[in-house]
Structure 1
Amino acid sequence: MRILIVGAGDVGFQLGKRLSREQHDITIIDSNPDKVRRAAEQLDGLAIEGSGDSYRVLMQAGLRDADVVAAVTDNDDANLMACRLAKASGVEVTIARVRNAEFTAPDFPLTPEQLGADHIIHPEREAANAILRLLQETSATHVIDLEQGKIEVIGLILEPDSPLVGPSLAELGARYKRPPVQIVAVERNHETIIPKGSDRLYPGDLVFAVCAPEYAKEFFGLAGKHKKPRMNKIMILGGGMIARFIAEALAGMATIKIIEHDLARAERLAGCLPHALVIHGDGTDLDLLDAEDLDEMDAFVAVTGDDENNIIATLLALQHHVKRPIALVNRVAYLPILPKIGLNSVISKQMLTVNAVQQFIQHRQVAAIASLPGIEGQMIEYIAREGTRITQKPLRHVKFPRSAVIGAVLRNGRVLIPDGDTILQPGDRAVIFALPQAVPELDRLFS
């Protein structure tokens, strides 16, 4: 597929890296020569210096031959203009990254199509939704909902006394009468493992499991975790859009304190969030955090635009034994090292945006894509179509990539945990954990 990416910042670069690895033909445009140089040196594709909302530059980049245009710069107007030009030139799929919340509001007078974009992605709203899921599942380090909540992907760290530690996975399955859950990935010593039946789990393992939501509570119990009481007191560092979305969603459900260092922004936020206490101050000031009763908080969420401040403040919250510390960290290079310093609940706005863009690009066969911070692979939800190779024989006879595993199948609204005798039927939605090298073969099996 020919894909034209407008913007070579963190989102565009990571998107280009992922798509080129999946053997798409990519071209990336940016007006910043340093970003263009980085893309040219590190990506398998063409990098062009110029403005992405220039028709001349887009034509130079092969606009009329493109199957998809993904405009992911930091400029809403430039992204939408690039999409409008692409649509006028006959491009089939256009995707825009947009930060202005008005464009995605239900009462906005223009539809995405009228704006020129087939799909609009709002990074701040994506991040807020991911944080809200983590606040709901307080025993998990990661929670991802698929199929409107019909399937959950749960990540948790095993303690030494966990009942899952010791026996092989096959023995655990027999002990618990093959429960409706599948462990699809384990992060151990900074290595991602796709476990087999003979593998064993160890203390400190970060385990990812796929199950139906109604079984999540029981799985927490099997893992030695117990769902803690819901979050009643939440402190948020940073008064931007993410904080506002979170506070609005939790209005009347929790006591919210928001700390914002910019006085004008703090005053604006106080005016639109009457149910929250907005404090003007520095969220990395330990005296301020102590004065605002940090040690009494159930959750601490750091969502400023500064990664380092978010990390430092969240570490302070950990020292104060806050039950649920969550950090927004956008620098992708930081993500693999954060679990080593104790930060397991981390949200990356950039990677959430990349996931959403990639899903729209592969929308014919893929229903959802989700990255797991600090983990090499992805959760991908494929749709089995009539006549595809994956529907022709039982799974044990399918040449399935070794670096991928089917965690669950959604069939007629029911969650099935597949085995070797399972035959996927047209319309089935298969939730698969896959390392990068497996994706091209999975695409062929499902397309």
Structure 2
Amino acid sequence: MKIIIAGAGDVGFHLARLLANEEHDLVIVDMDSEKLKYVANHLDVATIKGNSTSPSVLQDANISEADLLICATSSEDTNLLTAILGKRMGVKKTVTRISNLEFLLNRQQLGLEEMGIDEVVSPESLAAREISRLLKESAITDVYEFEKEQLSLIGINIDATDPLKNKTLRETTHLNPDLDFLTVAILRNNRTIIPRGDTKFELGDHVYYIAQPSGVDKVLKLTGKKSAEINSVMILGGSRVGFHTAKRLENKYKTKLIELDKEKCFDLADQLDHTLVINGDGRDMELLEEEGISNTDAFIAVTGNSETNIISCLMAKNKGVKKTIALVENIDYIHLSQNIGVDTMINKKLIAANFTFRYIRKGSVLSITSVHGVDAEILEFRVKENSKITKKPLKKLHFPYSAIVGGVIRNDKAYTPMGDFVFEPNDRVVVLSRMECIRKIEEFFK
């Protein structure tokens, strides 16, 4: 596939990094020479310096032969115009990064497809959706659900009191007699490990499991984690992400939002129906205490300053808040969350890039999910008649070492597959795989 990416910022670069393993013909367009130089030094892709709204620049990128144009600059106007021009000049599909919620809510009434905009991606809205998902379980750092919650991917931190600490995976197998969960990945010192029998759990590890409903409770019990219900939420920052988050949460939780800008507070109060908007400095611990931080279940920091978000989450954690989520601009910060005490750090640009990547691949897999900080993807496949994966038991398939089958759903029943498991047509299979291995995995399901 020939793909043109307009914008070499965080969204464009991360997306190009994901796609570089897919053997696509990639071209990145940007006006910033330094950004393009960074891309060229790190990725094997073509770069063009210029404004993506220029027809001549798009012609240089061979827009008429392109299958997909991804408009991912930081300027909404540039993205919209680039998509419209690109479609007029012959590109087959366009994906456009936007911030204005009106485009998302009214895409049909506005006739975006007729204008040439096939798909819109809002980093702010996607970040709010991610935050809402992360609040489902306080003791778990990450949770992704498959097929009506019959299987879930969950993340757990190994702390000093964890019973699994310093034990190998093989030594803990007797703790899972019902085979209703499987350890699929360990994030350790920014390195992703696909665990095997002799892999040892260490202090500070961030461990990921794919579990059946009964297995989720068992994992929490085995790791000494206590689940607590989320009823109240405090949001720091009236940014677009803060607004979108409050809008999603206010009908489900008791929600407060703290914003320093007084005028913005008035605007937010007008737009939010069930959120208490407070004018004040969220870095002021006295203010947080006055607003009941000690009795708040979840604290979400989404100001424009990453350091403020991290520090305020640490302050909230120190006051007994069960769940903390910090929005960070620097993607490298995400790996720190497992070590410094913030439950989860998210980056809206990374989320947007991953969403766009799923959109590109949605024809070959049922779903694809990226896990924060983990150098691997969670893929969901449906087994076809005569697929390669149906020919032998799992242990004889020579499944790639950089991937692991985490769970199977068959006739609305979940299974944790062991070596003797034989796949059948119409099975839904959840696989964790490193990026470089995805193409090999797909071959098993064709």
- Give runs of aligned pairs for residues 43-442 of structure 1, distance below 5 A: 43-105=43-105, 109-110=109-110, 112-147=112-147, 149-165=149-165, 168-170=168-170, 172-213=172-213, 215-228=215-228, 230-442=229-441
User: Where do 5+ consecutive residues of structure 1 fail to align?
Assistant: none
C-alpha offsets along residues 149-169 of structure 1, whole Å, 9 cap, x if unaligned?
443210011344445456553
Kept in 1: contact 2:204–2:339 (CA 8 A): no
Q: Which residue identity does 2:9 align to in structure 1?
A: G
| Whole-Å separation in 1 of the counterparts to 2:385 and 2:99 | 38
C-alpha displacement of 1:320: 2.0
Indicate the SS of the match to 2:289: helix
| Whole-Å separation in 2 of the counterparts to 1:141 and 1:408 | 20
| Whole-Å separation in 1 of the counterparts to 2:66 and 2:390 | 31
1:50 and 1:391, CA in 2 relative to 1: closer, same or farther beyond 3 A?
Answer: farther
Further displaced range: 205-214 or 124-133: 205-214
C-alpha displacement of 1:215: 4.2
Q: TM-score, normalised by structure 1?
A: 0.91
Indicate the SS of the match to 1:69: strand
C-alpha offsets along residues 46-65 of structure 1, whole Å, 9 cap, x if unaligned?
11112223332112112122
C-alpha displacement of 1:393: 3.0
Kept in 1: contact 2:337–2:344 (CA 8 A): no
Q: Which residue identity does 1:372 align to in structure 2?
A: V
C-alpha offsets along residues 304-323 of structure 1, whole Å, 9 cap, x if unaligned?
12212211211221222221
| Residue-pair matches, total | 446
| Whole-Å separation in 2 of the counterparts to 1:425 and 1:11 | 38
Q: Which residue identity does 2:352 align to in structure 1?
A: T
Indicate the SS of the match to 1:136: coil
Further displaced range: 11-20 or 80-89: 80-89
C-alpha displacement of 1:105: 1.3
C-alpha offsets along residues 212-265 of structure 1, whole Å, 9 cap, x if unaligned?
34642343223322311x223321111123222332333344322211122221
1:61 and 1:118, CA in 2 relative to 1: closer, same or farther beyond 3 A?
Answer: same
1:422 and 1:92, CA in 2 relative to 1: closer, same or farther beyond 3 A?
Answer: farther
C-alpha displacement of 1:148: 5.5
C-alpha displacement of 1:290: 3.1
Q: TM-score, normalised by structure 2?
A: 0.91
Kept in 2: contact 1:26–1:45 (CA 8 A): yes
Further displaced range: 421-430 or 136-145: 421-430
| Whole-Å separation in 2 of the counterparts to 1:260 and 1:108 | 33
| Whole-Å separation in 2 of the counterparts to 1:147 and 1:8 | 35
| Whole-Å separation in 2 of the counterparts to 1:149 and 1:297 | 27
- Give runs of aligned pairs for residues 16-35 of structure 1, distance below 5 A: 16-35=16-35
| Whole-Å separation in 1 of the counterparts to 2:75 and 2:147 | 31
Kept in 2: contact 1:80–1:115 (CA 8 A): no
Further displaced range: 42-51 or 98-107: 98-107
| Whole-Å separation in 1 of the counterparts to 2:220 and 2:120 | 35
1:178 and 1:198, CA in 2 relative to 1: closer, same or farther beyond 3 A?
Answer: farther
Q: Which residue identity does 1:67 align to in structure 2?
A: D
1:377 and 1:256, CA in 2 relative to 1: closer, same or farther beyond 3 A?
Answer: same
Q: CA RMSD in A?
A: 2.5
* Aligned-pair identity (%): 36
C-alpha displacement of 1:405: 0.6
Kept in 1: contact 2:157–2:338 (CA 8 A): no
| Whole-Å separation in 1 of the counterparts to 2:50 and 2:127 | 30
Indicate the SS of the match to 1:439: helix
| Whole-Å separation in 1 of the counterparts to 2:369 and 2:165 | 27
